[in-house]
């Protein structure tokens, strides 16, 4: 895989490279957002705020989301 950058890869880059090496490229991926309501209840915030914070946390970890 010479087109992958040289040197140490991040966890996300290694994850993606392993998917590519495993076989055909998936056309989509899905994330199951579970636990946001429990998180909101635990932190005593509105349910919607728990969902918003969960989405923001997911976006932090995804490359190209501008976060």
Give one word for 48, left, alpha or beta, with left for phi > 0 and alpha for psi -120 to 50: alpha
State if pTM tops 0.85: no
DSSP for 1-66, written as a single string: -TTSPSSPPPHHHHHHHHHHHHSSPPS-------SHHHHHHHHT--HHHHHHHHHHHHHHHSTTS-
Q: Which helix (H) or strand (E) holds 67?
A: none
Report pLDDT for 36.
92
Q: What string of pLDDT tens digits covers the 67 residues of the chain?
A: 455 556 788 888 888 888 888 888 778 889 898 999 999 999 999 999 999 999 999 988 887 766 5
């Amino acid at each position: 895989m010479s087109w992958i950058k040289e040197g140490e890869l991040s966890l996300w880059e290694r994850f993606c490279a392993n998917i590519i090496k495993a076989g055909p490229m998936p056309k989509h991926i899905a994330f199951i957002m579970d636990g946001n309501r429990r998180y909101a209840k635990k932190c005593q915030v509105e349910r919607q705020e728990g969902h918003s914070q969960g989405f923001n946390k997911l976006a932090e970890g995804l490359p190209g989301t501008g976060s």
